Amino acid sequence: MKKQRRFCLYCGGPITRKKEDHVWRDCCSHCHSFFYDNPLPVVSTIVDESRQILLVKRDRAPHKGLWCLPTGFAEAGESIQDAALRELHEETGIKGKITRLLDVDSYKSRFYGDLLFLTFVAEKTGGKVRAGDDSAQARFYPIDEIPPLAFRPNDRALSAYIKSKKDYWAILDSISHPDDKMTAKRKGANALTRRLINDILKNKEKMIEQWIEDMTTNPSTAEYRHIENHTLYNICDRIISQITLWLGCAYDIERIKIFYTKLGLERNKAGAKISGVLSALSLIRKHIWDVALSQGTLQKNLDLYMTFELQRRMTIFFDLATVYITRGYEK
């Protein structure tokens, strides 16, 4: 149980409760100093290795014996990212690199009072799994075998992470072929497709930002300059998701037909010119290839078959999208 403050740390006078800015706070009855109980920052880290999540078994209260993500308090003088990586290494022996902030959640603890959980996603860069001083065990759990977790913010963050990866995992599954007799060309094409999909998803935010900037400055899409950025973001995000699913053979022609016919109909009713809509679509394609090239996914020494196969699938997708947007206008 969190201990209550009884005496002033400045003058030793007894503590009373007094309102300040409409909030009841601890206050010294002698020197009238106020004491502020702000939420304590707690960091957690998700490390995913082939759909297995790194967890630690707690060796002390609260929730001794339960599993959780590598979790601990941030210390004064360190950045919140450094705190997450330090706790990860101390509790599991794993060194990592932060890739993104996944979730922020408030939590009330009997032991520590109000807490603020910040959950990061990190890539493993080194080290070996071992239990640290605060943990009885450390191990990777398959995502479908995760035990009950000690902290609600861990549950919430992990659920959000798994949900965010479902489409990507579906894509990988769709291009995974267990047949050992698969040709070397097919295996190579699948490997290239994986790399391209990976680069698209990892760089999606940057790609969308560049597309929005292009859309609002390119003469061919002048009418889009008056559309709010969050609306443009949602459009591009949806189309990029469709492309990754299509490349991974998890998105069929019928779904493309329905979506783009409806999109064409909607843009026509909104008074948009078809030339601007098609130009906007072509700019998405441009930025996808820009990312692929900048990330080194398409290299000069790749087998031509692999590059042509990817180009073929991308061409089919955008040709279908163009046809059905145009049909939407004709309706």
Domain boundaries, the chain: 1-37, 40-164, 184-330
pLDDT digit string (tens) for 155-192? 999 999 998 888 667 656 655 544 444 444 444 456 66
CATH number among 3.40.50.150, 1.10.286.10, 1.10.540.10, 1.10.490.70, domain 184-330: 1.10.490.70
C-alpha distances in angstroms, 239 versus 37, 209, 253, 255, 267?
Answer: 46, 14, 14, 12, 15
Token code pair at residue 200: 């698209």
Q: What is the pLDDT of residue 306?
A: 57
pLDDT given at position 247: 79
Residue 301, pLDDT score: 45
Q: Which fold has domain 1-37?
A: Ubiquitin Ligase Nedd4; Chain: W; (2.20.70)
Integer angstrom CA distances of residue 240 from 7, 25, 133, 201: 59, 50, 44, 8
Distance CA 249, CA 88 (A): 37
Q: In this structure, how many other beta carbons lie within 10 angstroms of the beta carbon of residue 174?
A: 16
Residues of the chain short of pLDDT 70, as ranges, are 1-2, 167-168, 170-192, 292-293, 295-310, 331
What pLDDT shows up at residue 297? 54
Please write the tens of the pLDDT for every residue from 11-27.
989 999 998 988 898 99
Query: What pTM did the predictor assign?
Result: 0.55
pLDDT of residue 36: 82
Res 188: pLDDT: 46
